[in-house]
Amino acid sequence: MALLVGHVIRVWDRKTKPPKFKRHICICPQANMFFRINSKPLFPPHMILRAEGAPFLEHDSYIELQQLIKDMAFEVNQAEVLGRLTPTHVQALKISITQCGALTDEVKDFIMNRLDQY
């Protein structure tokens, strides 16, 4: 299955300590750019993602908004697609991105352009 903007995948995340499987939200499938999902609000800024209406989550979780993660193509090709954000999730993410002070305007524009492709 080809990845789409808003797909939630389970992928091997080399950047966590220790490396482990994590859920990531696809922002740009062509460039393998993602947001990481955490089960706890570890790294602000973040946005809560409620498990209700999100079958790809077992419990409420948090989208890290401090940076985009560039996953390795090999890991992305091996990843399991768990589901896709709803339009409501995407709208909430857009609002959170516009209010996020951790991202540059250039990165915000990149993300917003990709989310507009949802």
For the chain, the average pLDDT equals 95
Q: What is the pLDDT of residue 31?
A: 96
Residue 114: pLDDT band with limits 50, 70, 90? very high
User: Which CATH class name applies to 7-115?
Assistant: mainly beta
Q: What is the pLDDT of residue 87?
A: 96
Judged against a pLDDT cut of 70, whether residue 109 lies above it is answered with yes
Q: What is the pLDDT of residue 17?
A: 92
pTM, to two decimals: 0.95
What is d(CA 39, CA 98) in angstroms, rounded to the nearest whole number? 23
Q: What is the pLDDT of residue 1?
A: 66
Across 71-86, average pLDDT: 94
Bridge partners, 81 (sequence order): 9
Judged against a pLDDT cut of 70, whether residue 61 lies above it is answered with yes
Q: 92, exposed or middle or buried, with CB in 10 Å at 0-12, 13-18, 19+?
A: middle
What is d(CA 10, CA 81) in angstroms, rounded to the nearest whole number? 6
Q: What is the pLDDT of residue 10?
A: 97
What is d(CA 49, CA 11) in angstroms, rounded to the nearest whole number? 18
* pLDDT tens-digit series, residues 6-46: 999 999 999 999 999 999 999 999 999 999 999 999 889 99
Across 76-104, average pLDDT: 96
